[in-house]
A = this chain, B = another copy of it.
Amino acid sequence: MAVYTDVSDAELAPFLEAFELGRALTFKGIAEGVENSNFFLRTERGSFILTLYEKRVREEDLPFFLGLLEHLSAKGMQCPLPVRARDGNAWRMLAGRPAALMTFLSGLSPKRPDVQQCGELGAALARLHLAGADYKLARPNALSVAGWKPLVKSCEAKANGVHMGLSTLIVTEMRWLEQHWPAGLPAGVIHADLFPDNVFFMEGKLSGLIDFYFACNDAYAYDVAVCLNAWCFEGDGAFNITKGRALLSTYRSVRPLSSAE
């Protein structure tokens, strides 16, 4: 939740000259985004988000991410649209990092989503799955079973220091997941990180989805599961079945679930 790489006014000016956006009127680092450095930029042509990609986003994945945003925007999804520079490129180097300019989305992220917002989310998630179905590029999910194994290995030794018995629990669960992880579910492009802070609302209506830097190809059910977990549990850990039903029913009204799902 910070700006990892600072951009000086002297670096910003030549960067901006590569675009047709006029001069910078405002430039402020934003205290959000865990992976990258983000800045609010207002120019003579409008408001934008400037993202500097830090270590966890690989430059070779940028064509997938930025192309996906263009693909989804063209299909009417409310997501940031990369602004291409005069040379046609969707990103260029700035302060030693790959950097992209995106259109700015209005709206506020909910801290505690209500039932109506869960319903809005479900429909948007299903529309996202349908809109991404014919996207040409592909990217494996780095945070599925294979990716969790090294994470388990790195946590195993310290886990009992957090809570006695946690280490065994993690290792046992990992083994169970490896044996039971479902195969053959309907799959395609998923967001994979659709927590409430990545969704904007205006007057209860969903106004934007952001932060597609975990997007990948995997089972649609993975996305649905992330959303049920991130949107439908209360502060005390209880599952709110009303929220869960709202999310699933609007999802299914847009994209029916198969019996396996």
Contacts and interface: CB of A to CB of B under 8 A. Distances in A.
B27 A108 contact: yes
B112 A25 contact: no
Given A3-B1, A9-B108, A42-B106, A28 B24 contact: no
A98 interface: no
Contact of A26 (B12, B24, B29, B107): B107
A154 B24 CA distance: 43
Contacts of A73: none
Interface string A15-39: 0000000011111111110000000
A202 interface: yes
A111 B95 CA distance: 13
A143 B13 CA distance: 36
A8 interface: yes
Nearest to A200: B26
